[in-house]
């Protein structure tokens, strides 16, 4: 369970193809909220099923792994 926003983030994460990555900002833009990159990180942190919702495919804007 999560908020509607979190569910949109998780759906966007599931759409990332195997072997590809996205930034938190790209995920925020993909769900229509350009400035919500920090909230995307929070939703990523609350991912209930990491094996099915690939939160590990999201990186920081510098191209590096960052904590969520």
Per-residue pLDDT of the chain (68 residues; tens, 9 = 90+): 899 999 999 999 999 999 999 999 999 999 999 999 999 999 999 999 988 999 999 999 999 988 76
Cβ contacts of 12-18, under 8 Å, gap ≥ 24: 13/44, 13/47, 13/53, 13/54, 13/55, 13/57, 13/58, 14/52, 14/53, 14/54, 16/54, 16/57, 16/58
Q: What is the pLDDT of residue 56?
A: 92
Q: What is the pLDDT of residue 65?
A: 86
Q: What amino acid positions are annotated as catalytic residues?
A: 55
What domains appear along the chain, each with residue ranges and CATH number? 4-59 (1.10.10.10)
């Amino acid at each position: 369970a999560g908020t509607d926003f979190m569910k949109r983030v998780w759906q966007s994460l599931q759409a990332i193809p195997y072997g590809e990555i996205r930034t938190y900002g790209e995920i925020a833009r993909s769900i229509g909220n350009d400035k919500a990159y920090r909230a995307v990180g929070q939703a990523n942190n609350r991912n209930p099923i990491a094996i099915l919702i690939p939160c590990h495919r999201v990186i920081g804007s510098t191209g590096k792994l960052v904590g969520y």
